[in-house]
Amino acid sequence: MRNIYRVGILIGMLGTLTLTAQNQPEREAWLRDAGFGMFIHWSVDAQLGTVISHSLVGASEDYTRRYFEELPKTFDPQDADPDRWARLAKLAGMKYMVLTAKHHSGFCLWHTETTDFSIEHTPYQRDFVAEYVKACRKYGLAVGLYFSPEDFHYLHQQGELIKRGEKGDRPAAANERYIAFVKAQMKELLTQYGPIDVLFFDGKKNFLIDALKPYCWSLKPDVLITRGEIETPEQHLLGVASDRVWEACMTMGTQWQFKPTNESYKPASQVIQLLAETRAQGGALLLNIGPDGLGELPFEQERNLTELAAWYFINHEAIDGVEPWPVTHEGDIWYTKARDEDVVYAILGGQEEWPRGERREFLLHAVAPTEKTKISVLGQSDKWVEYMPEVDATSRFRKAEKGIEVSVVRAQRIYNNHRWPNPVVIKLEHVRPAFIPPAIRTLPVAADGHLQGELLSLGDEKSVQAGFQYRLKPKGLNDITKHTDWKELPAGEFSKTGAFSLSIPDWSPGRYQIRAFVKHDYISIEGAVEELLIP
């Protein structure tokens, strides 16, 4: 094959962001094991069903005045039931919750001495943060609070334009007053409700976040700060396994806050697949709900959580306290490993039409058996299929030339129609990696118009094929369900590690997602995703 790739040596260090980590290591380890949480976007503008807070940016003075003065007068969410939300989270396997105590608008869901723009000055009156914290603790869930240091109401009161991307170009004295204001709010949140386990600081990194992080740790040294301190990809996954803790933030639909119409929800089966992928890559998934203006949870979101609960009830072992396997996935099959046990889980995605009682075989290239190997299907006894005494439900395996062949029956009756559209999980005890995988990294697109990757390791191969995959990102959609399938550019053959590049093809204008990949036998291993805009 003609090698069309330009091979080179990386010069200098890559532009990675170095953070001074001050989260306690045991708290980050807790998040890595916890792995699944509930995000709650809810504020005074849930009454309108608009995007939370952002409608204030660029708004007229009339709109802004009515937002700050009129909306609180009608906010009376008597149907809000944090106990119910926490109960659903517990059933779905979530270990923590994160509530928008204050979003960018500045509306506070607690009783505060810092502003009148709060739930205390609405018909509802009660301190909702207090009720939320009580519900979390009742169900043994860690208490998390989202807090936006950006505050549009504060800016408006100071006579400043409401805008995003503030670079700190106010007079120093104004900045100091702003910092004192948000510190006073954080002191209330961290001292009035008992232990707060998680803080999520939204907004672009600026002088406010820089001031808040050390201040919060001084008040609560064991509080875990996620956004602002660790990677928190939004509406997408990290894309690769990482030895650093990370948290993906994901909506069920296309909007964070309640959207009354024109909404498109992910099916529960896709949410489950996202959870499996996140855990296989060593991350935590923070899945969002958006109650309406009365506090009621949309039907579709509650039903998705209920189906998640059924899947988690069966397959909790594959999600709780796991770490990545050397190969995160083979196509739609995703792997997790029990952190303290010699157990690997193969989460079988892409098997939507699998009738109860049917046997299927899978060749797993990433796993090899040992003399002690045992396999089973989570949730099943391997001894009986209801009303099908003639079916042998036993799980079987045999050593393959490259990996392990497993043969399993979907035996458990979950739905009355005897079908179950969600991933079945195979438990593999006492297995070993079948090979040492190569490693690849996607680099940002070069200024000279080349796609860039770096082959980090050949694994146990003398040479490998590596290249790039791409897909077009749909216009105006922040929803991974709408992406097209990945397409592959011609690969090159490589016998050495190092950087490689490829001229950008003659693509039509649009925003593209790019990732480098490397092949080992039948398995493709991908790097993280980079974006490319072609005007």
In angstroms, rounded to a whole number, what is the distance separating the alpha carbons of residues 455 and 370? Answer: 31
| CA–CA gap between residue 49 and residue 437 (Å, rounded) | 47
Concatenated DSSP letters for 18-64? P----S-HHHHHHHHHH-EEEEE---GGGGTTPPTTGGGTT--HHHH
Q: Which residues of the chain have pLDDT under 50?
A: 1-21
- Residue burial 64-91, b: 16+ Cβ < 10 Å; e: rest: beebbeebbeebbbeebbbeebbbbbbb
Q: Which residues pair with 344 in a beta bridge?
A: 337, 428
pLDDT reported for residue 535? 87
- Parallel, antiparallel or unpaired: strands 510-520 and 530-534: antiparallel
Token pair, residue 519, equals: 């092949």
Q: What is the pLDDT of residues 282-305, one digit of tens each?
A: 999 999 999 999 999 999 999 999
**Sign of torsion over alpha carbons 89, 93, 95, 100:** negative
The pLDDT mean for the chain works out to 92
Identify whether the C-beta of residue 370 lies closer than 8 Å to the C-beta of residue 430: yes
Contact by Cβ (8 Å): 291, 49: no
Task: Please indicate, yes or no, whether the overall pTM of this predicted structure exceeds 0.85.
Answer: yes
pLDDT for 291: 98
pLDDT at 167: 61
Of all helices (H) and strands (E), which one includes residue 451?
Answer: strand 450-457
Please give the pLDDT value at position 17. 35
User: What pLDDT shows up at residue 485?
Assistant: 86
Contacts of 58 by beta carbon, 8 Å cutoff, 6+ apart: 162, 163
Upper half-sphere CA count for residue 293 (Cβ side, 13 Å): 19
> What is the C-alpha separation between 79 and 210, in angstroms, rounded?
37
